Structures are given as C-alpha cells and as structure tokens.
Amino acid sequence: MRMFKLIAGAGCFLLAMSVLSVGVVAEDIDLFSGINPSGGNPPTVLLGWHSTANSNANVVHGCVYSDTNQAPELGDTVGGMEQCALVNTMLSLKNANSDLLGAVKVGLMVFNENGFSGDSDLGNGNNRCGYLYSSPALMTEPAINSFVSKLKAFDKNDLANQSRLGDLVAESWAMLNGLSTSCSGVDYSGLAEVATECRDAVLVYIGNATKENSSVADGTGNPDTLLLSQLSSAFGYAEGSSKYEFFSTPRAVTLLNNSGSANNKYWGDEWTRFMNLVDVGDSAQSDRNITTYSIAVYAPDLEEKLAGEINFLADMATEGGGKAFKVTADNHAGLQEILIQIFNEVQDVNSVFSSATLPVSANTQGTFLNQVYIAMFRPDATAGPRWNGNVKQYQLGFDAGGNIVLTDATQDVSGAVTSVTNPVTGAIASTATSFWTTNSPTDGNGVAVANWPAGGFWINSPEGDAFTYDAPDGDLVEKGGVGLVQRIQNLTSSDGRIVYTCNDTGACPTGSALPDFDGDNATLVSKLEGILGAAQAGGGASITVGRYDTNETISTSCSGNGNNRKCTVTHDNSGGTDLDANTDRVVIVGGWNSVLPANKQVCTFDAPCSISGVTDSTFDVTSKDIPNNGSYNNAVIVDVSRLATVSQTGHGLLVGDQIELENCTVGNNTNTYNIDELEGTVLGSVAAIIDDDTYQLTLQDYVLAETANVTCGTSAVTLTADNLIQWMRGDDIVGNEVKRGPCPPNSRDAECPVSVRGSIHGDVLHSRPAVINYGGNTGVVVFYGSNDGHFRAINGNQTANIGDVQPGGELWSFVAPEFFDQLKRLYNNNPAVKYPTSIDPDAEGRDYFFDGTTTVLQDQREGTSTSGKAYIYLSARRGGRFIYAMDVTTPTSPRYLWRLTTSDLPELGQTWSQPKVTQIKGYDNPVLVFGAGYDPAEDADPASGTNTMGRGIVIVDSVSGKILWTAVPSCAGVTLAAGGHCQATASLTRAIPADITLVDRDFDGFTDRLYAADVGGNIWRIDLETQDPADTAFSQFQISKLAELGGSGNNARKFLFGPDVVPTNNFDAVVAVSGDREHPLYTDDNTAGRAYNVQNRFYVIMDKNLGKAISSPAPDPIDTADLVNQSSLQCLDADENVVSCDTAGATSLFFDGLSDSYAGYYINLMVGEKGVNAPLTVGGKVYFGTNQPDVPAEGSCTANLGNAGAYVIDLFTGETQRNIFSGGGLPPSPIAGLVTIDGKTVPFIIGGAGPSPFDPSMPEMPADNRRERTFWYFK
C-alpha cells in the first residue's frame, strides 16, 4: 500500500487598514499603516419588526420597562414582550459601562398600513410595504430617550392585518441606501448621507411564529418585481446572465410550500441574499451591502407546525450573511440578550484588530480531523517590531438548519451548534472561547496553577468581554490559545521551557540532540556576546519628566455625542506646554474641573486623559462631560509623560538600548505624579539621542517630575547575552511590554512573583501551521514558525496530554542562528517598523524569521527508505534564503537533518515556495519540489522586470537535501547529488516564489508533470517522465513555457501563487490568477506598471498535450490572443465562431478541449483588483480570493481594508459569481476536503464563498459527467 501524506498550506488573511501609497517599495504588511481610531464611523442597524395582528397572541411574559416599572402598551401579548424587550435593550445602552452608547446608529422599520404620521417628514407613501417608524440616529442619551418614547407609544392600532415581510426588506434596502424610489413610494434621498457612509449596514428582522396562521409572506408591494428591477435597471444585469439568474432564482425553503416556485410569495430571503452579496460596484447608485440577522420569536407548541416559517426566517439570515436566532415568545430577557449580542458584533468592526489563516489537521485515512487551527497576529499599535500572536483551536459543527459552521470549545457538536464567526467583521465573535482557553488554569497533571493571578493575568491590561481574564478570548489575539498555555507553563520561571538552537550558522549537529538555547550553553553565550558587543556602563545621571504649566487660559469646543464626543482644548501656551499624544497624558487643575461636580470631573490625577490632535496651542480629549464653549483662566495643564529626559555625561548609548539607572533618589515631591517610579532602580528604553550627554528614555508608566531633583548613581545597558536568552525564553525582565502583565519587573516580589511575558507568543503572519497526527498516545502535534524567533511544536490535542505537556502546551521550540542578529531589536521593541506613512527617521523594515510555509512528510508505507519517518521542512519567506529540514519522528526529540542555502544553489531567493513532497519514478526516496524563490527587487513599484535570484525550479532529496534536478539560468556553483542534473535554461528570467503544482496524470502514484508560474506572468511545464518508462534519468526531464500571459506596463502581471491543475478527458485545465499582493494599497499615480494599475486576470489554460514529453520543436507558448475573453460571457454561432451571446442563434460556449480555435479563456478583474490567494477547484467550480483597494474620497471617514472578493467560477463555462468577504483584507487560500463531525463525514470548504473567510460550507457537486478532482491525498 502506498500511503504518503503531505500536510501544508500557504497564504494568510490580513485584517488591517489601507491608506494612500506613498512609497516605491512595499510588502503586504503595508495594510497596517493608517489604522483609523475606533468610533470614527459608527455602524447603522435597522430593526425590522414583524408588526402584524398576530402579535396580539396572548403570552405571560412578565416584562416591565426598566425605567418606570410599567407594563408595555401592547400588554401580555407577543408584541408586548417584543416591545418591552426593545425598550429595555435601548435603555441598557445608557449604562455608564456600555461600549455601545454613542457608538451605533439604530432605526426601526415596521409594516406600513395604517396611515402613520410621517417620521422626519418622510410620510408613509402608498400605505404599503414598510414604514420608517424611527430614522436611524446615533444612540446618544437624548436619542435613546426619543427612540424609547416612540417605542412605548406603539399600540395595537399600529399593527398591520397581514404580513409584508418581503416588502419591508425591499423598503429597508431603499432606506439604508438613501434611494429616491422605494416599495412604499417614499423618497429616502434625504437620508443619503446617513446611508452612504463607509460602513455597510445591518438589518435585524424580528419575526413571529406564534399563531397557527402566522405568515412570512409578502404583501401587496410586489417585492419580486422590485428586485428584478434593481437587477436589470440599477445594476445592469441582463436577463439570463449568471448574476441575474443567481439573484432572481427563488430559493426553496424546507417545509415552506411553494417557496421555490417562480410565482411564490416569499421574496424576503432572495432580497437578503441580494443585499448581502451583490457587488455594489456594479451600480451607479450610492449603495452599500446589508447584512441581515433574524430572530424568530416562536411558541413552542407551534414549533413543528410552523417549522417552514421558522426555517424561512433562518434562511433570511443565512443568505443575508448574518446569524439566525430563536427565542420563545415569553423570553424577554433572551430577546434582549440577542439584540445586545448583535449590537456588539456590529460595533466590533472598529474594535481590536486580529488576523488569521486556517489550517486543518488531517488524519491518516484521507479525511480531516475536526480540529481547526487558526493562526493570529496583532500588529503593535505604535509600529513597534514586537507583535503579539497566537494559535487557537476551534471545531466544525452543524447549526439548527443543517449548515456547517465554525464553532468553539463550549459547544457540543453532537447536537446543533451556533457559528462563532462575526458576519460583520469577518473575524471570530467576541463571545467565542477557543480550545485550551480557561480562567481556572491547571498544569499538565491537572493541578491548579500556583500563583496564578486571582483577578486574571490581564489585571493591568484589561480588554474585551473577558476584561482581565482570558475566557472568552474571542478575537483578542493575545488571550487564550497556545499563548495562554505558554504563560501557564512559564508563569514564574522559564527554566523548564525546552528551547533548542544551533550554536552557529552551519554548525547544527546531525544525529544527536540539538544544543539548548539557555544560559548554560557557553558557546551560545559567547556567540551572542560577540553580536551584542560590550555592555555600556555610565556614571551619575539626572532625570526630568513632564511639565506643570500654571496660569494657562483655556477654552473648549466640543462636537459629537456620547463616547464619540470630542473636545478641542485651546490654551495660550504661556507655560510652554509641549505635548505628544504618543507619550503624554493630561491633568487639568482648575479649568472645567472647578465647575464640574466631583463625580463628573475629567482629566484628574486619578484618571489622566489621553490626547490626540496635538498642535502648539490645542489638543483633543474624548469626553461626554467637558462643558462645550467653556473658557477658564488660571488653569494648570499638567503633562504626565512616559518620556523622560536624562542627562548623563558621555552616555555612549544607542536608540533602543534597554538600561537600568541605579540608586535613584527624589529630592523634592512637590508637583509630582507617580514619583515612586523614579526611586531605586529605573528601567527604560532609549527613545532618542539628543547629544553625547543627553538622551530621552521611555518609562514604564506616566510620571511628573519636572522639578523633583531626581538623581541616580550608575547605569548599565541591561541587554547582556544572559538577559537576551532569558527574555527570549519568555521572562519579562525589561518592563517594556505594551500590554503589561500582572507583576511588572519594578513591582515583582514574593507576593507577586509572575515573571512570564504577556508577549511570550509572537505573531504568526504567513506561516500556516502544519499538523502531524501521530496516533497512539501522542495524537496531534502542530508545527509552525512565528516572528518572535521561535519555531514551535505544540500539543494539538483537544484534551489529551503528550507526556506531561497539556493540550495547547509547547513541546519545544527552535531558534535558528541565522536570526541571532535580529533578537536585540525584539528585546528593545525598537527601532519601529517602517510603513509607507512612517515619519520616524529611525524606522526600519520589519524583521522576519521562519515566516514561510512548513511542509510535513509522514511516510506510513512499508518497506521504503523513509518508512515510519516524520520530517518537517521549514521555509523562511522574507526571513531568509534557506530551508531547514528536521526529523520529528519522535515529536519530543527533534533532530536536525539538513539545510539548503545559496552555497548549494546560488540562484536561491527568499524561500517563499512551499516545498512539496512527492515520489518520482526511478528514485527511491521521496523528493521535495519548490520554486527557487522571491527576489526582493519585486518590492519596487513598478518593478524593474529584471530578477537576479529565484529564477528556477528545484527538486531535492527529502532525506539528504541534495539537489537532484534544477532548471536555472546558470548552473555555475550548483552542488548536485550523485546522478543529479542541472539544466541551464536561459529563458528562465523571472523569479518563481509560487508553489509548484504536481500532477500524476496516470494515477500510478508517481508525479509525472509539474507546473510553475513566475512573477513575469509565465506558466511553465516540466515533464518528469518520457515515453520510455525505463528512461528515468534526471537529465531526461524537460522544461517548456506553456503560456506567456504577462508583459510590460499595465500588462505586467505577476503570479505569486501556484496554479491549480484539473485533469479532464481532453486536456489538463491549468487555473491561475494574477496579482501582486505585496503592493496592497491604492495609488492615484497612473504610472504604467504600478501594481494598482495592472490589469489582473483569472485564467483557464487548456493544456491539450496529454503525453509525457514535449514535441520537438516545442510549440509556441499560449498567449492572450489564443484565449477567449470571458469577462462578459461569450457564445458560439452556427459556425462555432466565438460571438457575443446577444447574437441571434448563439449557443453557450463550453470549454471541452475539442475546438482548436482557442486554448482557454480569461476574465478581467476590476480596476486595482488583485488575486491574493491560491485558486482551488472543487466539483467543477474554482474558488479564489481577491482584494481591491477602496479609492479614498475627500473627507472619507476611515481608511480600510478594501473590498475582498470571494470568486466562484464555473471551470468549463467561465460563469462567475463574486461574493464579498466580510471585513475586507487579504483572505487566506481556500481549503477543502472531507471532515468527520460526530460520526458523519461531509465535504467542506473553508474560505470559499464567505461571508467570513473563516466560514465553512459544503460544496455543491455537479450532476453531470464532468471529470473533477475527487481525491485529497496521494496514496
């Protein structure tokens, strides 16, 4: 039996903010520049209330208004319960601790029938469809009071006599987009400013299933006709086109009779699908997409009878990209909880930033274990090089509607579960709890962890739903997951952590244990001392920090409401106030605090204020209590700061040095703040050098000591080799954590002994976790690199230990010597990362480590050279030009195998291309196949079109690392294995960072053909077998150019991801999408060849040569002239000529390889749009993701992630569906396979069609006889 498993993947999903491009070189993390402050663009939520007479169904709910203790106007009815829950939900937003106050716009739409008086003078039109009972308004306290008054006034006379569900949804589309025409005839153009802000909107539909005659039908407003009109008139979709048919085809809902027929009366779900998925760029309207949530209020005794109606409400949410909820008709508290959850999910768009890629672990039977590992990272908010990261585990389950969803550790997949993705942000919901995450940690023996902080690890850095605790961890990167377990393992000491290294580059031992990365390794210590240089020591020093400026005249000017209210403070600068928003906070003595009551005072010594918008005479403070248009004399502006000025003769320091000032004393306590921070030992980081005798020091906290006469004795740079090693192992010995742990170094003692860093786990940016299921007592181990210098092996089991290492715990890590030079910058968290918008002259490009894709070889065959072995292959991406191989057959005792560098292959570039494991005929050992890499010359925009590295394809022995075959421009300096062959190929002029695609055309277990794509838009074919099966010499391999699809100027297309190849009877379909994801930003520079200006395309190339060799002479490469432009679907006339489908008698064009008139087709992507992940074909459909930067408008409310497209294209016709991934950004490459959930094995795709890149779906398989891929493992 041939059982040979490859587990790996490529790609990453980046959630970040985009800005105007200003640089000439770039990489994908440039998305992180220009992050917009939260609250700058509040979302809009429209509540849709199913307000029919059926709401009069009697029910004892016991709800009273929380402000007056009165019963609702609609009494003890279902409508009364809903009315009361809505009122109490809105009143709860006024809570002082609510993050929603002033942060979300809310409006209400009801059924329009009874001649309501107009809201905002809009009127009620034709008395049909929906009526805007309350226009969306920012929920400040006055707005909440007004909205609540309207809700309380709603009585039984306002109830409609029939359902108008589809009509109300159609009305909502018009209202939320400020359209002049609507279902009711109301002109909403006056709301256009509200409706067209940067954020998409949300519809929350509250539906009833509480009487036997409850209905979810449409009314008399003809929503079906309105939808078809939007498709044809507003969006220009021709009747019969794929987009028209997709949105206009009725959906059949389970148990809802006639719902799927053309003349049905249930168009609410077709409307929500349209509102969610339609590409608003196709319309001239100022429209935005709308996510729909639904809440089914039901009577339990009618649940079975009304199952069709309840299913329909759920389908509205599923198609609308939101979530479906159910609540019983008497459960007002449950309804209120659901509404608050929805409001929080919607508002989370501007909350904490995280990103991920989705690997799935596979078992040895060709299906996937139900364990989803999500790698995350969080860029440093101050552009520091130390980013937090994590790996978390989730699982798949089925929701109540039978849909496959991503769910968390708290849910039992043997029953119905709920999704934990946030359909608005595209991230993990804030209420989710991943596996391994707990607030009551135990060690590997199940014993409670001693010294764990009772108030939570994050007592000094509270955030999110868990606040000071870890659970629920939600979308907060540093909480929960592997990061939490590493903090548990190393809580008060890292002495027990197993960290390996090699003592020098090229000095790794083979066949024996790797050296330890610890202070007892004298060779390592000596090596690091040589890198760090001699420790600097200095003499006496004096410190000043902050200012106390008296006699200031200040005035205020405030705008906005609630938590978004911003006040500009103007001062006369008579005291020389010099503020910096990045390092300073402000206290006001006198001023407005002289007139405010004690419980309302703002900017006090108890709570100094953060500031923004600083000029010489103004600064901004966010507050709802500072009086507007106030003017105050003789005020004191106190600047408490983290930036101290230190005078020290001949200090000899450098920016970023961490230092200790010893024996510091305070001579004067007058006008001081946090002065204890400057007594004894003072720790800090050198932020700037003023001159030879003066520097600025970043402190751990905010301090005022302008005239305190602080003097210190000696000083020393804290970064010694021993300190660096201790810090790398996880101990917080510096005190420069962005998110402080419970016991910072200056307060650590026997009562507070926690020493582990909160940042012990660095960012996992491009490295997708690779997984080996060892079975037996070991189970699953997860391997991945992170940009904190560590390559990790993690116990990936959900509940089982590996030895004494608990689930989620680290078995070991490895720090490569190639990265030693970069560790000092991580320790110092300085210099800053250079972005296109950076103004810091000391900022530098980001450092990377093992940031590439890890490949696994696990050989379960018998009688082979690698039987029973497990190897991993570590690539570095931007981290370097090398590959490491390690033997992890015993997962707790890794052994070094080999290392490939430019010494072996001078052409080797940055190792972006994943090494693919396979078997080739005539060679015993498995081999690795990869592209020769990325050339950083491609970072220029536009790129020069000339490369000096990475131009080739490489095959190496997986056990020895020796080169068996390579095609490169020059064979000079290439070190070959015995019998190996280097094929000098002058036509290989462009780098190949993409993965190589392997094809086993005859299914004999040996790869017989490769396909490679380069940054010049070329696709190459490599034949590994000849017609003579006995001729297996490497010298017989042939390389030829299959397609030439690039060019110059705006045709300078790049392939950064490998093609997918689908064998068919008549041809092999080579599927590729172009795009330069390393240049993700918008530019208004129209220079030809800049990444934004290049016309990117999706390609299907029909390789009709099904043999095992290239004819001589080789055919000309396929180019654009040989392809059909399917950007608009083309057809065939009677003579089989390609013509427009509008031509009389034209028939559909089907790419079956039988015609010699064309060699495939292409589809143009939109302006600025780029393919940003690898295409995947399942069931005759091709899935891939794109990103199109938004064009910033003057005065735009936020920089953002751009438009993330989720393409689904019919391989054989080119029919295209473009969905949108929530949250934008760079979606990860889709993953597909078979997964077993509670004993049921089903196909799945993650990252296929959305709405979130995390959302799984079950692919549709065609019923025809097209040949498609049905296998996922090579056996």
Question: pLDDT tens digits, residue range 1236-1269?
Answer: 899 898 999 998 888 888 899 998 755 443 333 3
Total domain count, the chain: 4
Measured N-to-C along each axis, helices 721-728 and 522-532 cross at an angle, to the nearest 10 degrees, of: 110
Q: Provide the pLDDT for residue 115.
A: 65
| Of 562 and 898, the one with more pLDDT | 898
| Of 270 and 423, the one with more pLDDT | 270
Report percent pLDDT > 70 for the chain: 91
Residue 946: CATH number of its domain: 2.130.10
Query: Is the same domain home to 781 and 634?
Result: no
How far lies 613's CA from each of 37, 73, 539, 566, 616, in Å?
A: 12, 48, 39, 11, 10
Q: Are 952 and 974 spatial neighbours (Cβ–Cβ below 8 Å)?
A: no
Q: Which position has the token pair 């709570």?
A: 607
Query: Is the same domain home to 773 and 906?
Result: no
Q: What does the radius of gyration of the chain's CA atoms come to, in whole angstroms?
A: 32
- Sign of the CA dihedral running 78, 82, 84, 85: positive
How many whole angstroms separate alpha carbon 787 and alpha carbon 389? 9
Quick check: is 960 in a domain? yes
Residue 940 backbone class (left: φ over 0; alpha: ψ -120 to 50; beta: rest): beta
Two tokens at 325? 């909820």
- Of 378, 383, 380, 353, whose CA–CA distance to 839 is shortest? 383
Q: Provide the pLDDT for residue 660.
A: 86
Q: Provide the pLDDT for residue 37.
A: 28
Q: Provide the pLDDT for residue 96.
A: 54
Over residues 482-524, the pLDDT tens digits come to 999 999 999 999 999 999 999 999 999 998 999 999 999 999 9
Q: Are 947 and 935 spatial neighbours (Cβ–Cβ below 8 Å)?
A: yes
Which residue type, as a one-letter code, is found at position 846? Answer: R
Q: Which position has the token pair 């002033």?
A: 102
Two tokens at 550? 């008296």
Query: Is the same domain home to 858 and 848?
Result: no
Q: Identify the band that residue 22 occupies on the pLDDT scale cut at 50, 70 and 90.
A: very low
Quick check: is 959 in a domain? yes
How many whole angstroms separate alpha carbon 1073 and alpha carbon 1045? 11
Q: Domain of 1079? A: 4-36+854-1257
How many whole angstroms separate alpha carbon 537 and alpha carbon 262? 83
Pure H helices in 1087-1196: none
Two tokens at 58? 């009697």
Which residue type, as a one-letter code, is found at position 797? Answer: N
Among 316, 350, 384, the domain boundary falls at 350
Query: Is the same domain home to 688 and 662?
Result: yes
**Non-local CB neighbours of 1049 within 8 Å, separated by 6+ positions:** 1088, 1089
How many whole angstroms separate alpha carbon 360 and alpha carbon 376? 15
How many whole angstroms separate alpha carbon 1250 and alpha carbon 400? 19
Query: Is the same domain home to 740 and 825?
Result: yes
- Sign of the CA dihedral running 1258, 1261, 1267, 1270: positive
Least confident of 656-670, 940-954, 1181-1195: 1181-1195
Task: Give the number of residues written for the chain.
Answer: 1275
Q: Provide the pLDDT for residue 816.
A: 98
Q: Provide the pLDDT for residue 1108.
A: 86
How many whole angstroms separate alpha carbon 874 and alpha carbon 358? 18
- Of 989, 1012, 862, whose CA–CA distance to 931 is shortest? 1012
Quick check: is 550 in a domain? yes
How far lies 639's CA from each of 549, 609, 643, in Å?
A: 8, 10, 11
Q: Provide the pLDDT for residue 704.
A: 94
How many whole angstroms separate alpha carbon 750 and alpha carbon 741? 16
Q: Are 931 and 949 spatial neighbours (Cβ–Cβ below 8 Å)?
A: no
Over residues 1178-1224, the pLDDT tens digits come to 999 999 999 998 776 543 434 467 889 999 999 999 999 999 898 88
Quick check: is 1275 in a domain? no
Omega before residue 1251 within 30° of 0, cis: yes
Q: What is the mean pLDDT of the chain?
A: 88
Q: Provide the pLDDT for residue 687.
A: 87
Q: Provide the pLDDT for residue 34.
A: 41
Residue 126: CATH number of its domain: 3.40.50.410
Query: Is the same domain home to 1102 and 1113?
Result: yes
Give the pLDDT mean for 921-949.
96
Q: Are 119 and 366 spatial neighbours (Cβ–Cβ below 8 Å)?
A: no
End-to-end CA distance of the chain: 8
Q: Are 562 and 650 spatial neighbours (Cβ–Cβ below 8 Å)?
A: no
Among 810, 828, 853, the domain boundary falls at 853
Q: Provide the pLDDT for residue 197.
A: 40
> CA 39: distance to chain centroid?
20
Query: Is the same domain home to 359 and 328?
Result: no
- Of 862, 863, 869, whose CA–CA distance to 959 is shortest? 869
Q: At residue 6, does pLDDT exceed 70? A: no
Q: Provide the pLDDT for residue 652.
A: 81
Burial degree of 863 (CB within 10 A; 0-12, 13-18, 19+): exposed
Q: Which residues pair with 1022 in a beta bridge?
A: 1010, 1039
DSSP state of 32: G
Query: Is the same domain home to 29 and 53?
Result: no
Which residue type, as a one-letter code, is found at position 992? Answer: I
Q: At residue 747, does pLDDT exceed 50? A: yes
| Of 864 and 42, the one with more pLDDT | 864
Q: Identify the band that residue 1227 occupies on the pLDDT scale cut at 50, 70 and 90.
A: confident
Q: Are 398 and 418 spatial neighbours (Cβ–Cβ below 8 Å)?
A: no
Q: Provide the pLDDT for residue 1057.
A: 97
Q: Identify the band that residue 25 occupies on the pLDDT scale cut at 50, 70 and 90.
A: low
Two tokens at 1250? 């959305």
For residue 578, the tally of other CB atoms under 10 A from its CB is: 13
Q: Which helix (H) or strand (E) holds 82?
A: helix 78-92
How many whole angstroms separate alpha carbon 699 and alpha carbon 679? 13
CA trace torsion 634, 639, 640, 646 (10° rounding): -130
Report percent pLDDT > 90 for the chain: 66
Query: Is the same domain home to 370 and 380?
Result: yes
**Non-local CB neighbours of 90 within 8 Å, separated by 6+ positions:** 106, 139, 144, 147, 148, 151
Please report how many Cα atoms fall inside a 13 Å half-sphere around the Cα of residue 902, on the Cβ side.
Answer: 13
Quick check: is 1263 in a domain? no
Least confident of 100-104, 171-175, 241-245, 298-302: 100-104
How many whole angstroms separate alpha carbon 280 and alpha carbon 889? 52
For residue 903, the tally of other CB atoms under 10 A from its CB is: 12
Give the strand pairing for 658-666 and 705-712: antiparallel
Q: Provide the pLDDT for residue 379.
A: 84
Query: Is the same domain home to 1117 and 1202?
Result: yes
Quick check: is 875 in a domain? yes
Q: Identify the band that residue 28 occupies on the pLDDT scale cut at 50, 70 and 90.
A: confident
Q: Are 594 and 602 spatial neighbours (Cβ–Cβ below 8 Å)?
A: no
Pure H helices in 748-835: 823-828
Give the pLDDT mean for 763-789.
93
Least confident of 165-169, 368-372, 1168-1172, 1200-1204: 1200-1204
Burial degree of 284 (CB within 10 A; 0-12, 13-18, 19+): exposed
Over residues 134-150, the pLDDT tens digits come to 999 989 999 999 999 99
Query: Is the same domain home to 495 and 569?
Result: no
Among 667, 701, 717, the domain boundary falls at 717
Query: Is the same domain home to 334 and 386?
Result: no
Q: Provide the pLDDT for residue 8.
A: 29
For residue 285, the tally of other CB atoms under 10 A from its CB is: 18
- Of 549, 611, 841, whose CA–CA distance to 37 is shortest? 611
How many whole angstroms separate alpha carbon 1015 and alpha carbon 528? 38
Q: Provide the pLDDT for residue 485.
A: 98
Quick check: is 1187 in a domain? yes
Dihedrals φ, ψ of 1157, to 5°?
A: -80, -20
Quick check: is 754 in a domain? yes
Least confident of 277-286, 608-617, 947-956: 277-286
Q: At residue 651, does pLDDT exceed 90? A: no
Q: Are 873 and 916 spatial neighbours (Cβ–Cβ below 8 Å)?
A: no
Residue 610 backbone class (left: φ over 0; alpha: ψ -120 to 50; beta: rest): beta
Q: At residue 111, does pLDDT exceed 90? A: yes
Give the pLDDT mean for 33-47.
59
